[in-house]
Amino acid sequence: MVFKSDILMLDEPTTGVDSVSGYQIMNDLKSLTKRRKAIAILATIHQPSQRIFALFDNLIILSREGSILFQGHPNNLAQILENIGLQCPMYTSLSDYILEVASGDFGKKSLQTLSHYNREMNKNRFTDDFNEVEMNSLREAVKRAHLSDQRSLALCTWLVLWRCFICNYRDPFSLKTRIPSLTLTAIFLILLYGEAVGQVSTCATKYVLWTAKIENILDLVEEQSRAAHENLSILLLMNVVSLFNSMLALMITIPNEIYVFRREYNNYSYTIWTYFVAKTLSEIPFTMITTGLFVLAVHRGTGQIFDHWNRVYFTILPCCLITMIGQFIGMMLGTIFYRSQVQAVFSMSFILVPILVFSGYFKLISQMNNVMVFLSNISFLKPSINSIMIAIYGFDRCLFQAQQELQQILSMNQTRPEWIDSVATLVDVYSSTYNQTELADKTLENEEKLVGFMGIGKSPKDRRAFVLQYWKLSETYDSYYHEIYQLIIYCMILAIMVYLTMFIRLKREKN
């Protein structure tokens, strides 16, 4: 019906519905045969009402033994029954009466007589030439139907996509579980870490020394290290939540849909590629919107730097890519273990452990041996976390903070602390003793010497945040895009793996 086929075959289309609904179904099917591009409809039906019985253009009635009792228009049935001595009683439906005859209620002889009469009536109806013409017409109809299916790939994809949208909208797991869970998780993280955790930049700027006391420097460094560790935990949790946002949903829905998909695929309704594309596209808007809102809420609620919108966009983008990766993993596990969701859950745990370990959060990649460094490439969380750290701590954040601190000092008319010169003298002794040429530069100010002793570089503009130094990351846009490109490659590889998994699974089930 969707692709306007020439022939439509239905097996008991009115089964399980009341007489009124059954008549509406058959009447709608009747209208399809009267359109400008008519469809030939072949349907089997049991116990039709008189109204449904009269809708047929050509009727074939079979006996309980399988012989044809009648073939023709329903209006001719009553006259044929009278010709062989069977009279439909008054106030009795002709459809009910002929079913009683076909069931043998009036004797086996009546069945034989009616069958013989039908053969005699139709023996000259179908000649050899007529049959050859009909077969040629049928071959042409099948050929046109095949070509129509080839041309309607886009339409088929759109229909499956629309159905997936409807299923996602009606899915109670999506609406009643995923959205509230993301909302509660965002609120929990904001309340747990507070709005000040993201304000720590770990930048050793020149002017931070003006507001610090010498006896509190170590405490200040320790406090910034603790806040930075908590902030990195937030970044990791954003990735993990984004991953589970789509992966668990697909692991649950794919096993429920695979049976329908397998039946429709075996009936040549559409291809594996059609279902794969439609299912992927139908999940993207929902998962991307929910993930984007979740990351935005956590980003603003934990007080991350907000000097321009690019930082927000560049934080949301990796999480959205992680959501797509989780979507593909969920589709693959749901396809492989569609008979047992318990096995899919345990397989998910087995996959996520090395991915988390190799993310670089629990152990630095640079501190691993060569084998582990090579295996760390399987972790898609590593480029995601790296890109978010660059978005949060890079893009000249230390320069931005230095400008803010300078404005604060000027507005408060704060004087330069005297202890800076004293400590700078100790730094000179250290640099000359251990041959630290960068710190021994005579053009450096004392504040820059202390900052250089704590960080890297000669000026705030060249100095990265300590988090980026520790993870050996650059703060440039090129470094960020390099990590994003890695995530895109992971998405493409997993998409190919999902398609091959569906292809192999369905081909094996079909054979």
Instruction: Render pLDDT for 356-365 as a digit per residue (tens, 0 to 9).
Output: 888 888 888 8
Of the candidates 98, 122, 151, which is a domain's last residue?
A: 151
Residues 126 and 162 in one domain: no
Residues 342 and 397 in one domain: yes
Residues 472 and 386 in one domain: yes
> Under DSSP, is residue 320 helix (H, G, I), strand (E, B) or coil?
helix
Cβ atoms of 455 and 193 within 8 Å: the answer is no
Assigned domain for 445 exists: no
Residues 267 and 362 in one domain: yes
User: Which amino acid, residue 115?
Assistant: S
Cβ atoms of 319 and 288 within 8 Å: the answer is no
Task: Supply the pLDDT for residue 412.
Answer: 64
Residues 506 and 477 in one domain: yes
Assigned domain for 120 exists: yes
Assigned domain for 176 exists: no
Residues 204 and 109 in one domain: no
Task: Supply the pLDDT for residue 56.
Answer: 87
What is the residue range of 219's domain?
153-169+188-419+467-510
pLDDT band at 385 (very low <50, low <70, confident <90, very high): very high
Assigned domain for 448 exists: no
Residues 213 and 226 in one domain: yes
Burial of 171 (0-12, 13-18, 19+ CB in 10 A): middle
Residue 486 makes CB contacts below 8 A (sequence gap 6+) with: 380, 383
Task: Supply the pLDDT for residue 142.
Answer: 57
Report how far residue 311's alpha carbon sits from residue 320's, in angstroms, rounded to the nearest whole number: 15
pLDDT band at 134 (very low <50, low <70, confident <90, very high): low
Residues 405 and 383 in one domain: yes
DSSP H or E stretch at residue 164: helix 153-170
Residues 100 and 248 in one domain: no
pLDDT band at 288 (very low <50, low <70, confident <90, very high): confident
Residues 312 and 403 in one domain: yes
Assigned domain for 383 exists: yes
Assigned domain for 313 exists: yes
Residues 46 and 116 in one domain: yes
Of the candidates 91, 123, 151, which is a domain's last residue?
A: 151
Assigned domain for 426 exists: no
Residues 202 and 299 in one domain: yes
Tally of structural domains, the chain: 2
Instruction: Tell me the β-bridge partners of 61.
Output: 70
> In the structure encoding, which two tokens stand for residue 298, read together?
């956590």
pTM over 0.75: no
* Number of separate helices (H) and strands (E) present in the chain: 20, 4
Tell me the per-residue pLDDT of 187-225, one tens digit each, with 9 for 90 and over: 999 999 888 888 887 776 666 666 666 666 666 667 777
Assigned domain for 322 exists: yes
